[in-house]
Amino acid sequence: MKQGYALFLVAIAAGALALVPVLAPPFYANLLVPFYGYAIALLGFNLLFGYAGLLSFGHALFLGLGAYTAAVLAGLWGVKEFEVVLLAAALAGLILALPLGWLAVRYRGIFFGMLTLAFGMLAHAVLFKFYHLTGGDSGMRVPRMHLLGLEFAAYNKFELLAGPFYYYCLILCGLAAFLMWRIVHSPFGLHLRSLRDNAQKAAYLGVHVHQFRLAAFAISGIYGAVGGTILGFRTGLADPELVYWTHSGHLVFMTVLGGFSSFLGPVIGALALTLLQDQLQSLTQYWRLVLGAILALVVIFLPRGLAGLAVDLGLFFGRRSAPSAASTTETA
Amino acid sequence: MSPQAPTAAPPRPPLGVSSPLIETVGVGKTYGGFRALEDVSIAVRAGEFVSIVGPNGAGKTTLVNLLTGLLVPSKGAVYFKGRNIAGAGPVTLATQGMARTFQLVQIFPELTVAETIAAAVVTRQGKRWRLLLPLVQDGEIATRVAAIAGMFGLASRLATLSRLLSQGEKKLLDVASAFALDPQVILLDEPTSGVSTAEKHAVMTTLVGAARAAGVQAIILVEHDMDLVAAYSHRIIALSEGRVLADLPPDEFFADPVIIETVVGKRRGVSC
């Protein structure tokens, strides 16, 4: 019943998002494209944080990897098919995540966080300094690509993003969410949650603690790289700022805002921050200050984030409507 | 507790019909200059309920950690079903048929009772790497979880979060999850700690009954309560200052006032 209700809400939300290019000005569809990139990346990020209990402060590394993979394949090597780029980015994410994860998952808490931060900063330094390879602070161009073999030549970039690419990302995000749903509800997902709660007890129940953490790290790396490919396609650029630590902080912000204890919490956080940031930037030059204050308020008053608030409100109104329904029955 | 380099293991004892399920041969363990265990040789065979007792600092925890493959002995070897398990680690032993419970209750606070037991059932059924199969669709796991929960009186609490259980229920869940591995040997580290005196025998009766039902071949109990030790053990191994002081059946054990004085420091019948 509860799951059916949640599925109903998800269907409503997906329907509303599908109507954005039809009903809202193209600006909003274009604005929401990065949301899909972040949503996919955060689904992976939260497998690591919410389900395996490992908070990475360098996860933007994988978003940058996805964008640079697109830049190299499409910009340098002339690959036109976005699906090929997506697969290559996912593979690159896996290949990078395995050695980094192998080193990082031996640690927990602040040590894991600092190690991942260090990986991110190393990547930033490489991208920034190796100008002849990476374009330095100018980054690398990500040209537009074909979607499902279609060039969409009649569309300019803005129209492509606000139309076909928007729906492409919506479906990709839906598939990524479905796949992640299966993963977190699988026996593998159960073992991940068990080691998050009590690694020693989990080991005595036969949970391969390090192997499972590494697997979660690798999957999150794949999701991050795929998300980064969308960001690169949208801006047409892969630049070092994508892997900078503040961008990793951005991912943590979105996750906390939406709520990491809920499956869709980080996705809600990504949507909320994308819209909030746009509105605040148009209102005040001190938008970062306002965002910081909002984050502080969320941590203090909504530790389970917006998703937790939604659940609590649903329970509150459910309880209120239950007695009134009962009294109606009695009156009748 | 990082494993240390083992010394050369003594030759493996020959396997036979009455071969021990678990055995230590001349085991010693030192931490820096401190000798926690010295020349400890014990064996537990199928069908046995063996208690390990001793005063604080006698080396019980070290021995338990050696028996569960968490520590590597500085001297000697530990065999489980004829294989040297020095430093094998809990995961390997869990899959090979050894389970352990802890003195301090160990649960997964944010998992339900069903999920906690399922975590062990998943291991037992070799389904841990199934990434895309929803747990709820696996009837085999659900059936086994329900059976284990039933054995421990937790059937009505399957959907309850572990952190919301009473202390006694948490203890039962801790043990139930270990039983869900279908172990051949289970090591119970003070399973009644934190349980009221009146309930201790009830808890032990539940554990022994569940062990029989689950087909557990041997139980090793680490316990301070000598009444429980006397009531359930086939054999009692007493440790003192890292050495085996006695390895006797209960009648002989409790007939020796020197052993009782050394191990308990009080007369029998008084829990410590």
Residue A51 to residue A215: CA distance in whole angstroms: 12
User: Given this model, what pLDDT does residue A2 score?
Assistant: 65
User: Given this model, what pLDDT does residue A83 score?
Assistant: 97
Residue B169 to residue B147: CA distance in whole angstroms: 16
Burial environment of residue A179 by CB neighbours within 10 A (0 to 12, 13 to 18, 19 or more): middle
User: Given this model, what pLDDT does residue A245 score?
Assistant: 93
Q: Report, in angstroms and rounded to the nearest whole number, the Rg of chain A calculated over CA atoms.
A: 21
Please identify which residue in the block is written with the tokens 């537009």. A144
A304 CB within 8 Å of a chain B CB: no
Nearest residue on chain B to A207, alpha-carbon basis:
B91
Cα–Cα distances (Å) from B5 to A58, A210, B30, B191, in that order, read 35, 21, 12, 31
Q: Tell me which residue of B67, B65, B60, B76 sits closest to B8, measured CA to CA.
A: B76
Of B99, B115, B132, the CB nearest to A190: B115
Q: Is the pLDDT of residue A177 over 60?
A: yes
The pLDDT tens digits of the residues spanning A90-125 come to 999 999 999 999 999 999 889 999 999 999 999 999
The pLDDT tens digits of the residues spanning A117-130 come to 999 999 999 999 99
A-facing residues of B in 122-141 (CB < 8 A) are 122-124, 127-136, 138, 141
User: Given this model, what pLDDT does residue B271 score?
Assistant: 43
> How many cross-chain Cβ pairs, A to B, lie less than 8 Å apart?
103
Residue A80 to residue B42: CA distance in whole angstroms: 70
What region does A138 belong to: left with phi over 0, alpha with psi -120 to 50, or beta? Answer: alpha
3-class secondary structure for B73-122?
CCEEEEEECCEECCCCCHHHHHHHCEEEECCCCCCCCCCEHHHHHHHHHH
User: Given this model, what pLDDT does residue B265 score?
Assistant: 67
Mean pLDDT of chain A: 91
A188 CB within 8 Å of a chain B CB: yes
A4 CB within 8 Å of a chain B CB: no
Q: Is the pLDDT of residue A145 over 80?
A: yes
At residue B16, the 3 state secondary structure works out as coil
Asked if the Cβ–Cβ distance from B133 to A179 is below 8 Å, we say no
pTM listed for this prediction? 0.86
Query: What was the ipTM of the complex prediction?
Result: 0.84
Chain A positions touching B106 (Cβ under 8 A) are 198, 200-201, 204
Asked if the Cβ–Cβ distance from B181 to A205 is below 8 Å, we say yes
User: Given this model, what pLDDT does residue B138 score?
Assistant: 87
Q: How many residues does chain B have?
A: 272
The pLDDT tens digits of the residues spanning B108-142 come to 999 999 999 999 999 999 888 888 888 888 899 99
Chain B positions touching A202 (Cβ under 8 A) are 108, 119
Chain B positions touching A183 (Cβ under 8 A) are 131-132
Report residues of chain B scoring pLDDT below 70: 1-18, 265-272
User: Given this model, what pLDDT does residue B1 score?
Assistant: 37
Nearest residue on chain B to A191, alpha-carbon basis:
B119
Asked if the Cβ–Cβ distance from A203 to B89 is below 8 Å, we say yes
Asked if the Cβ–Cβ distance from A204 to B99 is below 8 Å, we say yes
What percentage of chain A exceeds 70 in pLDDT?
95
A7 CB within 8 Å of a chain B CB: no
A-facing residues of B in 30-69 (CB < 8 A) are 68
Chain B positions touching A187 (Cβ under 8 A) are 118, 122, 127-130, 133, 135, 138, 141
Of B91, B100, B141, the CB nearest to A207: B91
